[in-house]
Amino acid sequence: MQNYLRLVKFEHTIFALPFALIGFFLAIKYNNSEFDIALLGLVLLCMIFARNAAMGFNRYLDRHFDKLNPRTAIREIPSGILKAGSVLVFVAVNSILFIITTWFINPLCFYLSPVALFIILFYSYTKRFTALCHFVLSLGLAIAPVGAYLAVTGTFDWPPVLLAMAVFFWVSGFDIIYALQDEDFDTGLNLKSIPVLTGRKRALFISKVIHGFSALFIIAVAFKTAGNWLHWTGTFIFIGLLIYQHTLVKTGDLSKVNLAFFTTNGIASIIYGTFVITAFYI
């Protein structure tokens, strides 16, 4: 089991989880719904199963590329720790469990579960044919707050959609930064990404612009939900950390990409989620 947890980088669930929780508690707060711990448990299980399936499939599909890349050759499949067939079974089991779990939530979530599953699995193919692969990845994470909101209400609304847009631009922006590490490798194998398409300098500029849109949508969420001082504090800290990560990565120095990608964004997600959810009850 420990090998599979490493395979899917389970600790990185932290990126989307706070936003899913915001969607869940936002639905409770603004629809006067009762807190249901069993429903929360189902939402969390959906997050885990979906992410396991997505990451496992990505590792399975990219296993040949990973073996050639010195940065990724130590991953579980290319290094021989896990067999490719076993990982594919892992993906199938988690996909089935995801769909089954949505059945216990409500009919709309169940009917939409194959759509969500398609998006998060399809991402793994995209870098083979489009530089827009970053946006497919971000779409997969952006549906988390909407899905959690639907789990409570069974209906769509603007606040979770605005939050999803903030996540969409946030994730795509930092994924472009992360892809800078493999620019030369991807170019050699004809894999697609924004850095490959535009070069390092322009890719960093595009990432900054995209994160600007994320900041605008984060602000829009605060306005739309009539956020109090605590909500606004979390909003400005999140935006501040967006700006900070761009000071870490330079055109000629990628040594702090992991600090920008993992640490800064993980902290931003946790702080924003904590402040906003707390703000709903103060």
Give the CATH number, domain containing residue 155.
1.10.357.140
Amino acid sitting at position 233: T
- φ, ψ of residue 250 to 5 degrees: the values are -115, 160
Q: Is the pLDDT of residue 116 over 70?
A: yes
Instruction: Place 202 in a pLDDT band, splitting at 50, 70 and 90.
Output: very high
Tokens of 245: 């990560």
117-148 tens-digit pLDDT: 999 999 999 999 999 999 999 999 999 999 99
pLDDT of residue 239: 97
CA distance 40 to 35: 8
CA distance linking residue 64 with residue 94, whole number of Å: 23
Q: Quote the pLDDT of residue 12.
A: 67
pLDDT at 257: 82
| Rounded Cα gap, residues 213 and 149, in angstroms | 22
What letter would DSSP give residue 249?
Answer: -
Least confident of 24-28, 101-105, 148-152, 257-261: 257-261
Q: What are phi and psi of 226, to 5 degrees?
A: 50, 50
The three-state secondary structure class of 270 is helix
Residues 171, 207: Cα–Cα separation, whole Å = 10
Q: Give the DSSP H or E segment for 71.
A: none
Residue 187, pLDDT score? 95
Residue given tokens 């398409």 in the structure block: 197
Q: Mean pLDDT across the stretch 14-27?
A: 92
> Which structural domain, as residue segments, surrounds residue 229?
2-279
Model confidence at 248: pLDDT above 70: yes
Is 14 a residue whose pLDDT tops 90?
Answer: no
What's the helix, strand, coil split of the chain in %, to 5? 80, 0, 20
Q: How many structural domains compose the chain? A: 1
Amino acid at 201: K
Instruction: Return the SS3 of 82.
Output: coil
Residues 6+ apart with CB under 8 A from 17: 44, 47, 144, 269, 273
Cα dihedral sign, 212-267-43-230:
negative
Mean pLDDT, to the nearest integer, of 93-118?
A: 98
More confident residue, 282 or 116: 116
Dist CA 209 CA 195 (whole Å): 15
The answer to whether the CB of 249 falls within 8 A of the CB of 272 is no
Q: What pLDDT sits at residue 262?
A: 77
- With 80 as the cut, is the pLDDT of residue 111 above it? yes
Average pLDDT over residues 189-200: 96
Task: Return the pLDDT at 10.
Answer: 65
Separation of alpha carbons 90 and 182, rounded Å: 27
Residue carrying the six token digits 């949505």: 102
C-alpha separations of 75 from 64, 67, 124, 240 in Å? 11, 8, 16, 33
84 has a pLDDT exceeding 70: yes
